[in-house]
Amino acid sequence: EVQLVESGGGLVKPGGSLRLSCAASGLTFSTYTMNWVRQAPGKGLEWVSYITSNSDYIGYADSVKGRFTVSRDNSRNSLYLQMNSLRAEDTAVYYCARESSGRSGYNDYTWFDPWGQGTLVTVSS
Amino acid sequence: DIQMTQSPSSLSASVGDRVTITCRARQTISTFLNWYQQKPGRAPKLLIFAASSLQNGVPSRFSGGGSGTDFTLTISSLQPEDFATYYCQQSWRSPWTFGQGTKVEIK
- Average pLDDT on A58-74 reads 98
Yes or no, beta carbons of B98 and A47 under 8 Å apart: yes
Average pLDDT over residues A44-67: 98
HSE of A42, CA atoms in CB hemisphere, 13 A: 1
Does the CB of A113 have a partner CB in chain B at under 8 Å?
yes
Residue-level pLDDT at B67: 97
* pLDDT score at A85: 98
CB A27 within 8 A of CB A2: yes
Tell if the CB–CB gap between A115 and B94 is shorter than 8 Å.
Answer: no
Answer yes or no: is pLDDT of B1 > 90.
Answer: yes
Amino acid identity at A82: Q
Q: Which residues of B touch A95 (CB under 8 A)?
A: 43-44
Q: How far apart are CA A77 and CA A75, in angstroms?
A: 6
Number of Cβ pairs closer than 8 Å across A and B? Answer: 66
Task: Give the pLDDT of residue A8.
Answer: 98
Q: Please write the tens of the pLDDT for every residue from A90-115.
A: 999 999 999 999 988 889 999 999 99
A5-48 pLDDT tens trace:
999 999 999 999 999 999 999 999 999 999 999 999 999 999 99
- With the CA atoms of A52, A32, B98 and B74 taken in that order, what torsion angle do they form, in degrees rounded to the nearest 10? 160
pLDDT 10s digits, B51-86: 999 999 999 999 999 999 999 999 999 999 999 999
Q: How far apart are CA A21 and CA A6, in angstroms?
A: 5
Helix count (H) and strand count (E) of chain B? 0, 11
B19-36 tens-digit pLDDT: 999 999 999 999 999 999
Instruction: Phi first, then psi: give them for residue A118, nearest 5 degrees.
Output: 95, 155
Contact B45 A59 (CB under 8 A): no
* pLDDT-derived band at A118, boundaries 50, 70, 90: very high
Task: Confirm if B35 and B47 have CB atoms less than 8 A apart.
Answer: yes
| A44 touches B: beta carbon within 8 Å | yes
Residue type, B82: D
User: Residue B50: its chain A contacts at CB < 8 A?
Assistant: 102, 104, 107, 109, 111
Nearest to B81 by CA among B101, B67, B99, B61: B61
Window B:46-85, CB contacts with A under 8 Å = 46, 49-50, 53, 55
